[in-house]
Amino acid sequence: MLDRFGRPVKSIRVSVTERCNLACFYCHREGEWHIHREEMSPEEIERILKIARELDIRKVKFTGGEPLVREDFVDIVARAAKYMDKDISLTTNGTLLKNFAEDLKKVGVRRVNVSLDTLDRRKYERITGRDSLNDVIDGVYAAMNAGMIPVKLNVVVLRGINDDELENMIYFSADTGAILQLIELEVPLERENSEFFKKYHVDLSDFERYISKMAEKVEYNELHRRKRYSLKINDKRATVEFVRSMHNTSFCMNCTRIRLTSDGKLKPCLLRNDNLVDLLTPLRKGASDDELKKLFKQAILLREPYWR
Ligand code: SAM
């Protein structure tokens, strides 16, 4: 289905919990700023994905909070696999991934993004509040060994914290075979002039230019139409992508995703909370598939490019 701007909606990003075992100081919490403890059951998530599939949405990315803190997460993925036949992925902080990678792959997870902002143990603790760097690195290797392809490393670049580590991260990408995704800090428009944003935001355009000159090959990531740079490092290969969404009109125009909050509301945009459409309350009150589909369509029609 197309939104009012002619953009097809092809994927859904489902937050399964707002609970997290880390406390990254910069986290946007997937735009869920209202505190709630309500979570959808695996059956409820399955029902919503079944409706999504009827609207030809066939890709899901699970997120949170931290999806792997949910004990029933493998069950949630197994249920999703009945409807999301084009792609199932998740974004995780990786701290628990080692224990789940094999099972997740078996039930249908194709690929994974692991958040890894630094390779320095003390910095990792400073950013996340926990000394878990080694667990995350084990998780990255476990995902590779389980055959999740690609494994992407999400690195939010933060001024004065990890902006001196980008080269190291490129070497790590070459060593592991994971794709490096360098992400600019993102905030809603009203926080752009905040001290926080000014202090930590790094504009990655110069670094992207530098990498583009060194790259042996440039491809396009078909999902987001971003450039993907391939660099030769000794006899290995590192792959680097940049996510620069602030004021990026083409980022928004190419957005084909709708979100579902962990308390069951459709969310047309990460950076907005004024146009949510509650699915879970009607679902719990016995709404029919047709009624839920109508609400889904309503949310799709509320989608607007944030940056334009
Ligand atoms: N706990 C999971 C994880 O760590 O991947 C899923 C939730 S986390 C919010 C999803 C991704 O959003 C992470 O890769 C994180 O680094 C990124 N992220 C969080 N806050 C951000 C911000 N303000 N700007 C850009 N990316 C951010």
Tokens of 14: 């489902």
Least confident range from 98-102, 113-117, 189-193: namely 189-193
> How many residues are recorded in the chain?
308
Mind giving me the DSSP string for 18-66? Answer: S--S---TT--GGG--S-------HHHHHHHHHHHHHTT--EEEEESS-
> For tokens 């790259």, what's the residue?
215
Give the domain range for residue 133: 11-301
Ligand 1 atom nearest 245 alpha carbon:
25
Alpha carbons 201 and 164: distance in angstroms, whole number:
14
Burial of 4 (0-12, 13-18, 19+ CB in 10 A): exposed
What pLDDT does residue 220 have? 84
pLDDT the model gives residue 223: 65
Rounded to the nearest whole angstrom, what is the distance from the C-alpha of residue 235 to the centroid of ligand 1? 32
Q: Is the CB of 66 under 6 A from ligand 1?
A: yes
Domain-located, residue 307:
no
For residue range 241-282, what is the model confidence (pLDDT) as tens digits? 999 988 989 889 999 999 999 999 999 999 999 999 999 999
Burial (CB count <10 Å: 0-12, 13-18, 19+), residue 155: buried
In a domain, 60, yes or no: yes
How many structural domains are present in the chain?
1
Give me ligand 1 centre to Cα 64, in Å.
Answer: 9
Q: Is the CB of 183 under 6 A from ligand 1?
A: yes
In this prediction, residues 165-178 reach a mean pLDDT of 96
The β-bridge relationship of strands 179-184 and 87-92 is unpaired
Q: What integer is the mean pLDDT of 102-123?
A: 98
Check: CB of residue 67 under 8 Å from CB of residue 73: yes
Whether 112 lines ligand 1, by a CB cut-off of 6 Å, is no
Q: Is residue 250 part of a domain?
A: yes
Classify burial at 181, counting beta carbons within 10 Å of its beta carbon; exposed 0-12, middle 13-18, buried 19 or more: buried
What lies within 8 Å, CB to CB, of 20 at 6+ separation is 27, 64, 65, 66, 69, 93
Q: 124 pLDDT band (50/70/90 cuts)?
A: very high
Task: Answer whether residue 178 is part of any domain.
Answer: yes
Please report, rounded to a whole number, the percentage of residues in the chain having pLDDT higher than 70: 99
| Confidence check: pLDDT of 221 > 80 | no
* Residue 92 CB less than 6 A away from ligand 1: yes
Domain assignment present for 15? yes
* CA–centroid distance, residue 34 to ligand 1 (Å): 17
Please report the pLDDT score of residue 85 as a whole number: 97
55, with CB counted inside 10 A (0-12, 13-18, 19+), is: middle
User: What is the structure's pLDDT at 224?
Assistant: 67
How far is the C-alpha of 95 from the C-alpha of 110, rounded, in Å? 19
Q: 15: helix, coil or strand?
A: strand
Q: What is the CATH number of the domain that holds 215?
A: 3.20.20.70
| Ligand 1 neighbourhood includes 88 CB (under 6 angstroms) | no
Q: Evaluate if residue 65 carries a pLDDT over 90.
A: yes
pLDDT digits (tens, 9 = 90+) for 41-60: 999 999 999 999 999 999 99
Give the strands of the sheet with 226-233, arranged side by side.
217-221, 226-233, 236-243, 179-184, 151-157, 111-115, 87-92, 59-63, 11-15, 257-260, 265-267, 277-278
> What are the CA-CA distances from residue 11 to residues 40, 85, 119, 205, 299 (Å)?
19, 11, 31, 28, 14
* Average pLDDT of the chain, as a whole number: 95
Task: Check residue 61 and give its pLDDT.
Answer: 98
Whether residue 19 has its Cβ less than 6 Å from ligand 1: no
- Evaluate if residue 210 carries a pLDDT over 80: yes
Q: Is 5 inside any structural domain?
A: no
Structural domain contains residue 3: no
Please write the tens of the pLDDT for every residue from 146-170.
999 999 999 999 999 999 999 999 9
pTM of the predicted structure, to 2 decimals: 0.97
C-alpha 205/C-alpha 244 separation (Å) is 8
| Residue located nearest, by CA, to atom 7 of ligand 1 | 64
Which residues are bridge partners to 181 per DSSP? 154, 241
Tell me the CA–centroid distance for residue 115 and ligand 1, in Å: 7
Residue 32 confidence (pLDDT): 80
Residue 306 forms part of a structural domain: no
Query: Can you tell me the distance from the alpha carbon of 105 to that of 112, in angstroms, rounded to the nearest whole number?
Result: 10
Rounded to the nearest angstrom, the distance between the alpha carbon of 26 and the centre of ligand 1 is 8
Q: Measured from the CB, is residue 30 less than 6 Å from ligand 1?
A: yes
- Check if 185 has its Cβ closer than 6 Å to any atom of ligand 1: yes
Q: Locate 293 and state its tokens.
A: 């589909």
Q: Does the CB atom of residue 156 touch ligand 1 within 6 A?
A: yes
